[in-house]
Chains A and B, each alone.
Chain A
């Protein structure tokens, strides 16, 4: 596990922590900053503190709330690629089993379904997500409209060759293992 450190995270993210001068412009434009336990500027501050703040960063909820909208990177006067840091922080969090509960449920359901069918089926996913996460009625009042106008199908749909997709997904995971 020696390569799961702040230094290696930043190497993989291809970002130099000292490029950030803590101006906060990124967080000012971030749509999720209000809900984040660490906003984008604070995330960069963690990376500057180095190993001492590594756990704080990868255990944060913020890295799972980031929508990947790229506003922060776009507006940063020093071109700091914060989404890249967040992406790598998430991979480390997954590795250490620190993934946010609802994100884990959603992503697991999404990928299991993708592996089986090769496609994503929104209504199906939403329904299963609600049952597992116990948010039973979330978005369910839209379902009658969707069915009436044939916007979703009741049965899952499959692509031509789902096996190719599941093979690709399995092989992708092997690279991760080889790196460790």
Chain B
């Protein structure tokens, strides 16, 4: 049964347009249902938990309590690493600490039992059921495309919250991307930090973090990077002109992982807004599609 409560998060309606469109496309293809939480609110990342401990738990719990009320039998899906971390942290503490749960329920004015799991889309698309369903829908393999899968921090750490089996070299995204026919490279920076929201308030300190991530991907042969988070995606992609100027960083397209799957399923360029990327990706994608067709003919 592929049904989930869905917490979109703020970026999905704006800067993460490509991610959202491709996510919805893939879900339609494989018959996965996402029920948007009615009246969801911003999880507060990253300012709320930095400034006030209770607020950092109560804001995500408010949305989770609504999900629990409307869809008590569904786990909660979210596509942003920061939302995932905040929602999952709130659920974890409410589940395991009666004192925290009391405080949170008083604060949000709603009961919240934390009965269901919070999941990211790697957890969700990585299940056997979803993998099989996606495999069946691949019509246009992306042959020879070299991809660096970037996880960042919060989808994998801290282990006590995420339960991720491997925090240094996770492979779920590679397994999913392999369905598209693309080749995932081995590289060293897949779980390094992109600086998160500090790209706003500590720019000189955090800009170099992205420079080394991109360089390592390119040095290992990647033609593009894929992410599972709108903020990671924006940090790696949006300022590439600036990086090129300051550090001489090479330019490279950065996709949400669902985009490559959607393309391999046959999504039209406009359907998933591929031209909204900051660095042109049309060449490498067209080449991979052509190579895929040729291999098919042979």
Given contacts A70-B157, A142-B238, whether A126 and B108 have CB atoms under 8 Å apart is: no
Q: For the complex, give the distance between the alpha carbons of A32 and B196 in Å.
A: 12
CB proximity of A91 to chain B, nearest CB, Å: 6
Residues of B within 8 A of A157 (CB): 13
- Which chain B residues in 42-58 approach chain A with CB under 8 Å? 42, 44, 46-55, 58
Contact of A31 among B10, B192, B201, B242 (CB under 8 A): B192
CB proximity of B132 to chain A, nearest CB, Å: 32
Minimal Cβ-Cβ distance residue in B for A66: B198
CB proximity of A151 to chain B, nearest CB, Å: 5
Q: Indicate whether B193 reaches chain A with its CB closer than 8 angstroms.
A: yes
Q: Indicate whether A145 reaches chain B with its CB closer than 8 angstroms.
A: yes
Q: Indicate whether B73 reaches chain A with its CB closer than 8 angstroms.
A: no
B39-A159 in contact (CB<8A) = yes
- Which chain B residues in 181-234 approach chain A with CB under 8 Å? 191-193, 195-198, 200-206, 209, 234
B44-A114 in contact (CB<8A) = yes
A152-B14 in contact (CB<8A) = yes
Q: Indicate whether A83 reaches chain B with its CB closer than 8 angstroms.
A: yes
Given contacts A71-B193, A135-B203, A168-B62, whether A141 and B241 have CB atoms under 8 Å apart is: yes
Residues of A within 8 A of B53 (CB): 87, 91, 176
CB proximity of A78 to chain B, nearest CB, Å: 15
Which stretch in B26-34, B247-255, B270-278 binds the other chain?
B270-278
A74-B157 in contact (CB<8A) = yes
CB proximity of A13 to chain B, nearest CB, Å: 11
- Which chain A residues in 129-151 approach chain B with CB under 8 Å? 129, 133, 135, 138-139, 141-142, 145-146, 149-151
B10-A121 in contact (CB<8A) = yes
Q: For the complex, give the distance between the alpha carbons of A92 and B54 in Å.
A: 14
Q: For the complex, give the distance between the alpha carbons of A59 and B109 in Å.
A: 36
Residues of B within 8 A of A162 (CB): 41
A73, A120, A150, A171: residue with the most chain B Cβ atoms closer than 10 Å: A120
A161-B51 in contact (CB<8A) = no
Q: Indicate whether B59 reaches chain A with its CB closer than 8 angstroms.
A: yes
Given contacts A121-B10, A172-B52, whether A106 and B153 have CB atoms under 8 Å apart is: no
Contact of A151 among B14, B108, B203 (CB under 8 A): B14
CB proximity of B251 to chain A, nearest CB, Å: 14
Q: For the complex, give the distance between the alpha carbons of A123 and B11 in Å.
A: 11
Contact string against A for B residues 123-159, beta-carbon threshold 8 Å, 1 for contact and 0 otherwise: 0000000000000000000000000000001100111
Q: Indicate whether A94 reaches chain B with its CB closer than 8 angstroms.
A: yes
Minimal Cβ-Cβ distance residue in B for A70: B157
Q: For the complex, give the distance between the alpha carbons of A119 and B49 in Å.
A: 15
B54-A175 in contact (CB<8A) = yes
Q: For the complex, give the distance between the alpha carbons of A44 and B13 in Å.
A: 41
Contact of A119 among B10, B52, B107, B200 (CB under 8 A): B10
A74-B51 in contact (CB<8A) = no
Q: For the complex, give the distance between the alpha carbons of A161 and B242 in Å.
A: 38
Contact of B201 among A69, A102, A111, A119 (CB under 8 A): A102
Contact string against B for A residues 27-64, beta-carbon threshold 8 Å, 1 for contact and 0 otherwise: 00001100100000000000000000000000000001
Q: For the complex, give the distance between the alpha carbons of A87 and B197 in Å.
A: 16
Q: For the complex, give the distance between the alpha carbons of A164 and B42 in Å.
A: 11
Instruction: List 6 other contacts, CB 8 Å, given A67-B206, A159-B40, A169-B59.
Output: A69-B153, A106-B47, A111-B47, A126-B200, A133-B201, A161-B39
Question: Which residues of B line the A interface, CB within 8 A?
Answer: 10-11, 13-15, 17, 38-42, 44, 46-55, 58-59, 62, 103, 106-109, 153-154, 157-159, 167-168, 191-193, 195-198, 200-206, 209, 234, 238-239, 241-242, 273, 275-276, 278
Query: Can you list 7 pairs linking A and B with CB atoms under 8 Å apart?
Result: A102-B202, A106-B197, A126-B200, A135-B203, A138-B200, A172-B52, A175-B103
